[in-house]
Every structure is written in C-alpha cells, then in structure tokens.
Amino acid sequence: MSERQSSKRRALRTAIFALIVLAVVFTLYALSESPREKPALPDDADHKAVADWRDCLRCHGDGGPSPLTPDHPINKEQCFRCHTLQGATPPGR
C-alpha cells in the first residue's frame, strides 16, 4: 500500500471516529434535555401557600413535620429544579 493510500485510510478512520464521538455526545445531550415528568406538588392549602423555595423548608427541612428522606434525589434549597410552582423563586435568584 502506498503512503498516499495509507494517509487517506488514516484520515477516513479519523473522520469515522470523530463522527461516532459526535453522535454519542449528541445522543447524551439529547437524553439529558428530554422532557421529564416532574413530581407534582400536592393540591392542598399548605402547598398553595408556598411562594418561595424557603417555604418548603418549613415542613421539609430538618426538624420539620415532614423532613426529606435521605434518598430524596436533590438536596434542600433545590426544590424547584424538579418541582414547579407558579411564581416561585428558584434558589440563587
């Protein structure tokens, strides 16, 4: 095989590898951005009164009547990363 053919073959393998990497990265990105069903807040008076993420900690913080379980996927102060509430203020804003 000539050096020119070898160089073309190497370039083709590199291009195929780059396309595969881009496809994997795009797939992972698309999966991470796909819409997920967010857990709904209960439709009761206590939760309708929530106006800010800090209100959640009154009941769900340490020492509250309904603290988060240790296996809750996201820690305190990040309630609105998953749960949505009209007019709520996300942490850090």
pLDDT(91) > 60: no
Instruction: Say yes or no: 15 and 59 in one domain.
Output: no
Instruction: Say yes or no: 6 and 47 in one domain.
Output: no
Selected residue with higher pLDDT from 11 and 2: 11
Instruction: Supply the pLDDT for residue 88.
Output: 44
The DSSP result for the chain, as a single string, is --HHHHHHHHHHHHHHHHHHHHHHHHHHHHHHHS--PPPPPP-SHHHHT--SHHHHHHHHSTTSSSPPPTT-SS-TT-GGGT---TT---TT-
Instruction: Say yes or no: 65 and 78 in one domain.
Output: yes
User: Identity (one letter) of the amino acid at 58?
Assistant: R
For 29-80, the pLDDT digits (tens) are 887 765 666 777 777 888 888 877 888 888 888 889 998 888 887 766 778 7
Instruction: Supply the pLDDT for residue 30.
Output: 80
> Range of 25's domain?
1-34
Provide the number of structural domains found in the chain: 2
